[in-house]
Chain A
Amino acid sequence: MEQVPLVHILILSSILFFLGVYGFFARRNMLMMLMSTELILNSVNINFIAFNKYLFPHQLEGMFFSMFIITVAAGEVSLAIAIIINLYRRFKTVDVEDTTTMKY
């Protein structure tokens, strides 16, 4: 894997990250926001793995960190879906624009 410069992988992960950010800001459906969040998390994972492989190959810290991130992401998604289902019961919609009661 020596041929691919580290910077290219990092560029990939950055673009993926901000795609996720865009998706989070610009989508009205809560589930789509959730999917964008997954994209963000994954881009971070790529970053960690790449750094581990290229810069610090002796230890596997990056890999473990990514593993934990995956685990936490899994837990987070389940909780997020539970909340979304609860909101759906209350507002009968998963549109995030219709759930703005916590305001002035």
Chain B
Amino acid sequence: MDMNYEIPMLLILFLPIISFVFLSLAGRRISPSVAGLTGITVLSVVTVLSFFVAYNYFFVNGEVNGVYQKIAVFNEVWLKFSDVLSINLGVMLDPISVMMLIVISFISCMVHLYSWNYMHGEDRFQMYYAYLSLFTFSMLGLVVAVNIFQMYIFWELVGVSSFLLIGFYYTKPSAIAAAKKAFIVTRFADLGFLLGILLVSQNAGTLDFATMIERLANPHSPFAQSMLAGSFLGMSTLSWGLILIFIGGAGKSAMFPLHIWLPDAMEGPTPVSALIHAATMVVAGVFLVARLFPIFAVSAPDALHIVGYVGAITALFAAIIACTQTDIKRVLAYSTVSQIAFMMFSLGVSGWGEEASEGFTGSLFHLFTHAFFKAMLFMGAGAVIHAVHSNEMEDMGGLRKKLPITHLSFLIACLAIAGVPGFAGFFSKEVILSAAFHGDKLIYAIGLLTSGITAFYMFRLYFRIFWFKEASHGHGEHGHDNHESHTPMMNLALILLIIATLVVGYIPFGHFVSADGKAIELPFHLALAIPPVTVGLLGIAIAYMLFAKENDKPTKITNALGGFYKAAYNKFYIDEIYLFVTKKILFNLIGRPAAWVDRNIVDNIYNGSATLTAVTSESIKKMQSGRVQTYATYFLLGVIFVALLFLFAN
């Protein structure tokens, strides 16, 4: 190894956590400016280091004989249970983790910059930056985890940071409820994750990723043979283990039916949504499947099919709901769910090795590009919300002159997500749909339909906010035109993201990231590229017709669709179903009896033993009456008793 990755990786991991400790302990003793500057500085350093590591890895010496290596930078033994089982902590670099380093550090840096203005005047500014640092540390640790248990530890840490950040405005009951919901749903999914970890690692005899993949991705190895031998409900042990792990990933990545927490998580501050719920945390599930992809693809293709179908269903489902929502952040949330589902089903239809692993590359390419433009969308939404002091689309309209930079960034992001040629989303989506076409035609059809709907609802959002009404100059309350002059950092972040979004589409991703480490070519199939572009442009056109100018066509269509529209608007009542199941079934059938047993039986056992002791002592205490004669009586009785024992007990 020419390059010593140790120092950069140590710095990348430890700077954010030190920043967290410092900021959370210092709290209000330091001024908000100092806190913000600390956060921004730390993150800038981390970003630069990440780029440095990535440059070295991808361009200088990560490649050996054309294959990108998995480099274990650290692998320290932490808890050693036996010779075979030990939990290590370490850092592993391979193409996907280095790519994620860039994404996480860059987006986090942008969010830090953006929050400087957005959260200005907030009471707990310092704690906010502390939590952001904590989150960054957790996510970085997750992607460079060297074994699956370490990933689980950081997984939970990410959940905690998300909880803290969603519930940042803890005086609002809705925020508290949303934070709880997010944590509980993901924790519930993590149960599946843990079971999967135990199952797979026990059979593979190791927790280490590299070793696990080596053992299980080879169908002829003894480990894989033993796992594939058993069959339960038609799927092998290995498939079940991977499905359980996938459940954990599905919870974090908001796949149906565990998607319910993500729209509610919009209660947190908007920069938080940009960082966590658009670009980084929610892709952890995709990252997990990508990490274990060799095992999925080679030894458990049936599990991979399930992944694909779950992704496809979620994508369509979320897209339909997004068409009906009126809260700008909710639309973006459902859009995120849908796009992540794209990434997931792209993994699901992927094969292994050379051109067949197009899906894998496409998924991660889309992850990369989506991070940038989704973060930009959220930041733009934040600026809009800041300007009109409301989240609802009804209060917006005609803002394109008031918020020019925001308008530009939003437009570019929408073009990217709609898959318009030349913009980032076009390239990544094209790879995904091409992989789907070669993999599974049904999923291809669903993906195609969803792309069209995506274009439609995103441009519905765009037109509704920035067009619809007449462009206003100096509207109402504030009297001044340009809100953006007060928020230089927000503008800076948006501009940097615009540049990034424009550029990343052109990266030859297949060269760097592929399923087996070898570079693959992603050829451009013209025939396959046309349908998505067509449906995208169609969606844009419909949105233009309905929303560019103020009219009542949307209302008429809403009424015409009647019940279906109502169901979609109410998110297909999934939350209500969950509430019903938990309240009526779980609470009444399990919770109440358990509580009854606990209160009446268990408590009474303890109360009973205490009462018994008290009663016994009350009755015995008369023996110590202070009366000498009583004592003497007992004495004599004792003597008689002992005498009897001696005389007759032979």
Q: When A and B assemble into the complex, do they touch directly, with CB atoms less than 8 Å apart?
A: yes
What are 22 residue pairs bridging A and B, where the CB atoms are less than 8 Å apart in the complex?
A: A21-B636, A24-B629, A24-B632, A25-B629, A25-B632, A25-B633, A25-B636, A26-B629, A33-B628, A33-B629, A96-B627, A96-B628, A96-B629, A97-B627, A99-B626, A100-B626, A100-B627, A102-B626, A103-B624, A103-B626, A104-B621, A104-B624
- Minimum CB–CB distance from B612 to chain A (whole Å) comes to 19
B625: Cβ under 8 A from any A Cβ: yes
Q: Which residues of A contact B625 (CB under 8 A)?
A: 100, 103
Per-residue interface assignment for chain B, residues 615 to 650, with 1 indicating a CB less than 8 Å from any chain A CB and 0 otherwise: 000000100111111001100100000000000000
Interface core residue of A26, A101, A104 (most chain B CB under 10 Å): A104
Number of interface residues of B (CB under 8 A): 10
Nearest-CB distance from B621 to chain A (Å)? 5
**Interface residues as binary, A27-57 with B (CB distance below 8 Å gives 1, 0 otherwise):** 0000001000000000000000000000000
Nearest chain A residue, comparing its CB with the CB of B628: A96
> What are the residues of chain A within 8 A of B636 when measuring CB–CB?
21, 25
Q: Kindly list 19 other residue pairs between chains A and B, CB separation below 8 angstroms, not including A25-B629, A96-B627, A103-B625.
A: A21-B636, A24-B629, A25-B632, A25-B636, A26-B629, A33-B628, A96-B628, A96-B629, A97-B627, A99-B626, A100-B625, A100-B626, A100-B627, A101-B626, A102-B626, A103-B624, A103-B626, A104-B621, A104-B624
List A residues at the B interface (Cβ < 8 Å). 21, 24-26, 33, 96-97, 99-104
The residues of A that contact B624 with a CB separation of less than 8 Å are: 103-104
Question: In the complex, what's the smallest C-beta–C-beta distance from B233 to chain A, in angstroms?
Answer: 68
For A26, the closest partner residue in chain B by CB is: B629
State the 3 A-B residue pairs at the shortest beta-carbon distance, nearest first.
A103-B626, A100-B626, A104-B621
Q: For the complex, give the distance between the alpha carbons of A21 and B639 in Å.
A: 13
A68 to chain B, nearest CB (A): 22
Distance in angstroms between the alpha carbons of A96 and B621 in the assembled complex:
19
CB distance from A81 to the nearest CB of B (A): 16
Residue of A nearest to B629 (CB): A25
A104 to B628: give the CA distance in the assembly, Å: 14
B499 CB to closest chain A CB (Å) equals: 87
Q: Which residue of A lies closest to B623 (CB)?
A: A104
**Distance in Å from the Cβ of A84 to the closest Cβ of chain B?**
12
Chain A residue numbers with a CB within 8 Å of B628 are 33, 96
Nearest chain B residue, comparing its CB with the CB of A30: B628
User: Which residues in A have their C-beta under 8 angstroms from that of B627?
Assistant: 96-97, 100
Kindly state the separation between the CA atoms of A25 and B634 in the bound complex, as whole angstroms: 11
Report the minimum CB–CB distance from A87 to chain B (whole Å): 11
Query: Which residues of A have CB within 8 Å of B629?
Result: 24-26, 33, 96
Q: Shortest Cβ distance from B615 into chain A, in angstroms? A: 15
Cα(A33)–Cα(B627), bound, Å: 13
Which B residue sits closest to A101, measured CB to CB?
B626
CA of A1 to CA of B558 in the docked complex: distance in angstroms? 133
Report the separation of the CA atoms of residues A31 and B628 in the bound assembly, to the nearest whole angstrom. Answer: 14
From residue A43, how far is it (CB to closest CB) to chain B in Å? 15
In the docked arrangement, what's the CA distance between A78 and B621, Å?
Answer: 33
Q: B581 to chain A: closest CB distance in Å? A: 58
CA distance A26 to B629 in the complex (A): 8
A103 — nearest CB in chain B belongs to which residue? Answer: B626
Minimum CB–CB distance for B432 against chain A, Å: 84
Residues of chain B within 8 A (CB-CB) of A21 are: 636
- Docked pose: A94 CA to B621 CA in angstroms: 25
Residues of chain B with a CB closer than 8 A to A97's CB: 627
* Whole-angstrom CA separation of A104 from B620 in the bound complex: 10
* B contact residues around A102 at 8 Å (CB): 626
Return the chain A residue nearest B617 by Cβ: A104
Residue of B whose beta carbon sits closest to that of A100: B626
Q: How near does chain B come to A40, taking the closest CB pair, in angstroms? A: 11
CB distance from B564 to the nearest CB of A (A): 80
- Residues of A near B632 (CB, < 8 A) are 24-25
Docked Cα-Cα span, A99 to B624, in Å, equals: 13
In whole angstroms, what is the CA distance A33 to B636 when docked? 15
Q: How far is the CA of A102 from the CA of B627 in the complex (A)?
A: 8
Please, which residues of chain B bring their CB within 8 A of the CB of A24?
Answer: 629, 632
**Smallest CB gap from B627: residue in A:** A100
B455 nearest CB across to chain A (Å): 87
Q: Which residues of B contact A96 (CB under 8 A)?
A: 627-629
Q: Report the separation of the CA atoms of residues A101 and B626 in the bound assembly, to the nearest whole angstrom.
A: 6
Collect the chain A residues with CB atoms within 8 Å of residue B626's CB. Answer: 99-103
Question: Nearest residue in B to A27 (C-beta to C-beta)?
Answer: B629
B621 to A, closest residue via Cβ: A104
Chain B residues with CB below 8 A from A101, complex form: 626
- Distance between Cα atoms of A25 and B624 in the complex (Å): 16
Q: A25 to B632: give the CA distance in the assembly, Å.
A: 7
Q: From residue B222, how far is it (CB to closest CB) to chain A in Å?
A: 73
How long is the Cα–Cα vector from A97 to B627 in the complex, in angstroms? 7
Q: Could you tell me which residues of chain B, from 494 to 552, have a CB within 8 Å of some CB in chain A?
A: none
**Closest beta carbon of chain B to A99's beta carbon, Å:** 8
Residue of A nearest to B636 (CB): A21
A100 surroundings in chain B (CB, below 8 A)? 625-627
